[in-house]
């Protein structure tokens, strides 16, 4: 339900142009998708000047690159930044790429003083923002675009296209430049010479895994065109997928996908080599394997039983980092690099040898359960993947020192923006995006993972914000798996007062409703800008539910303004945001 609401939210802001019949021409400037930010730049005149400078810089880079695959990015070195990117399909010539870019610039200028915009043509895409979006892979609201033509040989054509799309999804992330074009004759049809054409492309600024994720979404969306349309496209923030029954790229741009699929002659040769090596070296493998196992058994300490994972299958482990590398990355866990202190230890900013910035959690050995908690978090987070859940990159341990390595969130935790040093800097759209994103993450933990996961400690300080202020739920150290055959667990209390449901805090009755209750408290914090569970005697900071209790009495227009954050009080809160306060009421 949350995802459908989010999809409608963004779809209303995105203008999707209707497709004309496919045209095989050089520039390929059929407009597929266009969107403008709902927010204007703070200084429209200055931002427009910098944007024009960025557009000119991009064009110069395209002219000088002389590449068929053209990609450029630019941001101002002084004043408010402008991030911009253009990328053409590889099958365009340099001249056609520049022409497509010029058409995109003309189209995107209708965004006027908006602080962000994007336009996607068949041959290229252009985007600009006031914040860094280069590693963004997907956006809500991007659906497939289907033509109104049907293929002459629908059944064999659809089967051929589906095979091409599957191969493109697998091969494209493995190809240098993230681009592939393919063609295949339709088999089993009555008309000779009929063929299917398809391309896939990802932005070169994203990672291989980001390309895989984006194409997976695009492939799912484009399924809506198969069976009814002879041509379909799927566009997203960082990828493009298209198929057609007519050619839209030259024959010399067809990519050989076999080396990236593990099939064909190269795959057979590799298979033969592997079989030969396995057979020839079997004796050595057995000998060294036995010796290694005996050595490991003699040196392995007694294993600590896992206390937080129950009723589930064995989970795969994460990447293991060297302890000394993480120690060097965090400057020996110095206070200067400390990002915060959690219930299980401190979190430090670290810079790896590769230049990647990470967050390193150093677990405190305060109880006999610390190792079990460490194993639980490592095993659990490694197998949970969602855009609104913090990603675990790896772990390390040395003696009693236990380390977890996470992706780094530059904007830190939500609590700083609600009642900390950055209080009042979040606008209403950002606050609603945080509510939606947190709800998506919890929905995944409760309903979409293969078992129900209860976080147990949902609070503002455990919600981190990325560069685009999108939320990611963190700190799974208290997470507990709920077996499918049980509706609740009875367990000792572990959480934060002020956020915890009464049935859990008092009776230890644990179910996914505990997280729902905590989420409701966080929603109230987001709309009010006040902290829940503050033990200070200041009436302004007493328990939120007590301060607004009985809560339902506040749910009327005269009192709604009293609930809103003082830094963002406005008539719009009363008129537009009553439903979000209603969401809070339903959660508690």
Q: Per-domain residue ranges for the chain?
A: 23-134, 150-266, 319-407, 415-587
* Residue showing tokens 């569970």: 533
Number of residues in the chain: 588
Fold agreement between 23-134 and 150-266: yes
Question: What per-residue confidence (pLDDT) applies to 102?
Answer: 92
Residue 168 is inside which H or E element, if any? Answer: helix 154-171
Cis peptide before 81 (omega within 30 of 0): no
* In the predicted structure, residue 23 carries a pLDDT above the cut 50: no
Choose the weakest-confidence range: 282-291, 423-432, 504-513, 559-568: 559-568
- Does the pLDDT value for residue 128 go beyond 80? yes
Query: Quick one: pLDDT at residue 325?
Result: 92
pLDDT at 1: 42
Averaged pLDDT for residues 494-516: 74
**Cα(566)–Cα(564) distance, rounded to whole angstroms?**
6
Average pLDDT on 338-342 reads: 81
Report which of residues 538 and 241 the model is more confident about: 241
Say what the pLDDT of residue 401 is: 79
Residue 495 has pLDDT above 60, yes or no: yes
pLDDT for 48: 85
The answer, yes or no, to whether residue 178 has pLDDT greater than 70, is yes
Token duo for residue 561 = 């303004």
- Confidence label for 208 from pLDDT (cuts 50, 70 and 90): very high
Residue 485 has pLDDT above 50, yes or no: no
Distance between CA 500 and CA 164 in Å, rounded?
A: 51
Is residue 459 over pLDDT 80? yes
pLDDT attached to residue 467: 84
Catalytic residues: 457
Q: Tell me the Ramachandran region of residue 221: left when phi exceeds 0, alpha when psi lies from -120 to 50, beta otherwise.
A: alpha
Local confidence band at 187 (pLDDT 50, 70, 90 cut-offs): confident
Tens-place pLDDT, residues 507-542: 667 778 888 888 988 888 888 888 876 544 444 444
For the stretch 251-308, pLDDT in tens is 888 999 999 987 544 455 555 556 555 555 665 656 656 556 665 555 544 433 333 3
Handedness of CA 288, 293, 296, 298 (dihedral sign): negative
Residues 22 and 474: their CA atoms lie apart, in Å, by 46
Supply the mean pLDDT for the chain: 75
Q: How far apart are CA 12 and CA 8, in angstroms?
A: 6
Q: In the structure encoding, which two tokens stand for residue 483, read together? A: 């077996």
Measured on CA atoms in the order 131, 136, 138, 142, is the torsion positive or negative? positive
- pLDDT at residue 239 is higher than 70: yes
Question: pLDDT band at residue 547, thresholds of 50, 70 and 90?
Answer: low
| pLDDT of the residue at 141 | 73
Question: What residues contact residue 328 under an 8 Å CB cut-off, 6+ apart?
Answer: none
Residue of 561 and 509 predicted with greater confidence: 509
- The topology under which CATH files domain 23-134 is Killer Toxin P4; Chain A (3.30.430)
Q: What is residue 243's predicted lDDT score, i.e. its pLDDT?
A: 96
Q: What is the DSSP letter of 171?
A: H
* Region of residue 459 (left: phi > 0; alpha: psi -120 to 50; beta: else): beta
Tell me whether the omega of the peptide bond preceding residue 557 falls within 30 degrees of 0, making it cis. Answer: no
- Which carries the bigger pLDDT value, residue 6 or residue 386? 386
Cβ proximity of 220 and 213 under 8 Å: no
Confidence (pLDDT) at 483: 44
Token pair, residue 573, equals 């809160």
Give yes or no for a contact between 255 and 175, defined as CB atoms under 8 angstroms apart.
Answer: yes
Nearest 5°: phi and psi at 550? -65, 135
DSSP 519: H
Q: Which residues pair with 234 in a beta bridge?
A: 144, 241
Q: Percentage of residues in the chain with pLDDT exceeding 70? A: 65
Please give the pLDDT value at position 70: 53
Q: 362: annotated binding-site residue?
A: yes
Q: How does pLDDT run across 432-457, given as a tens digit for each residue?
A: 899 999 999 999 888 887 777 888 88
Task: Check residue 435 and give its pLDDT.
Answer: 93
pLDDT at 167 (0 to 100): 95
pLDDT band at 376 (very low <50, low <70, confident <90, very high): low
Coil, strand or helix at 195: strand
Predicted confidence (pLDDT) at residue 220 exceeds the cutoff of 50: yes
pLDDT recorded at residue 24? 43
pTM of the model: 0.45
Helix (H, G, I), strand (E, B) or coil at 490: strand
So what's the pLDDT on residue 359? 92
- Outline where 12-66 has alpha helix (H): 44-65
Q: Is the pLDDT of residue 248 over 60?
A: yes
Residue 225: pLDDT band (50, 70, 90) is: very high
Mean pLDDT of 57-76: 68
Q: The tokens of 208 are what? A: 């291989």
**Nearest to residue 477, comparing CAs of 555, 363, 368?**
363
How many Cα atoms within 13 Å fall on the side-chain side of residue 281?
9
Sign of CA dihedral 536, 539, 540, 544: positive
Beta bridge partners of residue 391, listed in sequence order:
none
Q: What's domain 415-587's superfamily in CATH?
A: Transferase(Phosphotransferase) domain 1 (1.10.510.10)
Phi and psi angles of residue 13, each rounded to the nearest 5 degrees, phi first? -95, -10
Check: CB of residue 497 under 8 Å from CB of residue 385: no
| Predicted local distance difference test score (pLDDT) of residue 199 | 96
Query: Highest mean pLDDT range out of 72-81, 204-213, 564-573?
Result: 204-213
Phi-psi bin for 28: left (phi > 0), alpha (psi -120 to 50), beta?
left
Considering the four listed CATH numbers 3.40.50.920, 3.40.50.10860, 3.30.420.40, 3.30.430.20, the one that applies to the domain covering 150-266 is 3.30.430.20
pLDDT at 231 over 90: yes
The pLDDT of residue 319 is above 80: no
Write out pLDDT tens, residues 85-121: 999 998 888 888 899 999 999 999 988 778 899 999 9
pLDDT grade for 190, boundaries at 50, 70 and 90: low
Give the domain 319-407 fold. Phosphorylase Kinase; domain 1 (3.30.200)
Check whether 3 has a pLDDT greater than 50. no
**Three-class secondary structure assignment of 466-478:** CCCCCEEECCCCC
The whole-number pLDDT of residue 524 equals 85
Residue 168 predicted with pLDDT over 90? yes
- Judge whether 347 and 404 are in contact, CB under 8 Å: no
Averaged pLDDT, 52-72: 75
């Amino acid at each position: 339900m949350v995802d459908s609401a989010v999809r409608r939210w963004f779809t209303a802001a995105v203008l999707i142009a209707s497709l004309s019949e496919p045209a095989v021409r050089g520039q390929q400037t059929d407009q597929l998708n266009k969107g403008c930010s709902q927010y204007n730049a703070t200084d429209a005149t200055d931002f427009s000047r910098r944007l024009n400078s960025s557009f000119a810089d991009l064009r110069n880079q395209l002219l000088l690159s002389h590449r068929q695959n053209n990609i450029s990015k630019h941001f101002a070195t002084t004043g408010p930044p402008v991030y911009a990117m253009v990328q053409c399909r590889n099958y365009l010539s340099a001249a056609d790429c520049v022409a497509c870019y010029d058409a995109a610039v003309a189209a995107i200028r209708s965004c006027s003083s908006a602080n962000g915009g994007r336009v996607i043509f068949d041959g290229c895409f252009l985007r600009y923002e006031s914040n860094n979006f280069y590693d963004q892979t997907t956006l809500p609201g991007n659906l497939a675009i289907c033509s109104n033509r049907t293929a002459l040989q629908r059944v064999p054509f659809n089967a051929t296209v589906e095979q091409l799309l599957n191969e493109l999804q697998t091969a494209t992330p493995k190809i240098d430049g993230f681009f592939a074009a393919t063609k295949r004759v339709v088999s089993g049809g009555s008309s000779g010479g009929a063929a299917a054409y398809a391309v896939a492309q990802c932005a070169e600024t994203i990672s291989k895994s980001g390309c895989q994720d984006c194409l997976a979404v695009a492939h799912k969306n484009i399924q809506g065109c198969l069976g009814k349309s002879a041509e379909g496209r799927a566009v997203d923030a960082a990828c493009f997928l298209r198929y057609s029954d007519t050619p839209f790229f030259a024959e010399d741009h067809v990519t050989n996908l076999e080396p990236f699929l593990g099939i064909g002659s190269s795959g057979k040769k590799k298979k033969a080599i592997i079989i030969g090596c396995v057979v020839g070296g079997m004796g050595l493998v057995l000998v060294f394997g036995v010796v290694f196992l005996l050595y490991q058994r003699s040196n392995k300490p007694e294993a600590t039983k896992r206390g937080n994972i129950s009723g589930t299958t064995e989970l795969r482990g994460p990447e293991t980092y060297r302890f000394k590398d993480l120690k060097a990355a965090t400057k020996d866990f110095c206070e200067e690099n400390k990002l915060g202190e959690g219930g299980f230890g401190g979190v430090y900013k670290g810079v790896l040898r590769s230049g990647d910035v990470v967050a390193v959690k150093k677990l405190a050995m305060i109880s006999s359960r610390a190792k079990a908690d460490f194993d639980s978090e490592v095993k659990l987070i490694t197998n949970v993947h969602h855009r609104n859940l913090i990603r675990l990159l790896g772990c390390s341990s040395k003696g009693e020192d236990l380390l977890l390595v996470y992706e780094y969130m530059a904007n830190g935790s939500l609590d700083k923006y609600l009642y900390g040093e950055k209080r009042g800097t979040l606008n209403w759209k950002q606050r609603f995006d945080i509510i939606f994103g947190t709800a998506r993450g919890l929905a995944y933990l409760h309903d979409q993972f293969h078992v129900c996961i209860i976080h147990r400690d949902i609070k503002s300080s455990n919600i981190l914000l990325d560069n685009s202020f999108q939320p990611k739920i963190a700190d799974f150290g208290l997470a507990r798996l709920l077996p499918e055959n049980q509706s609740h667990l009875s367990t000792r209390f572990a959480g934060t007062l002020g956020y915890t449901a009464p049935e859990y805090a008092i009776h230890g009755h644990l179910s996914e409703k505990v997280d729902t209750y905590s989420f409701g408290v966080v929603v109230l914090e987001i709309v009010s800008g006040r902290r829940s569970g503050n033990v200070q005697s200041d009436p302004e900071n007493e328990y939120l539910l007590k301060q607004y209790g009985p809560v339902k009495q506040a749910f009327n227009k005269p009192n709604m303004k009293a609930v809103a954050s003082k830094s963002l009080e406005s008539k719009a809160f009363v008129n537009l945001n009553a439903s979000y306060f209603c969401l809070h009421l339903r959660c508690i």
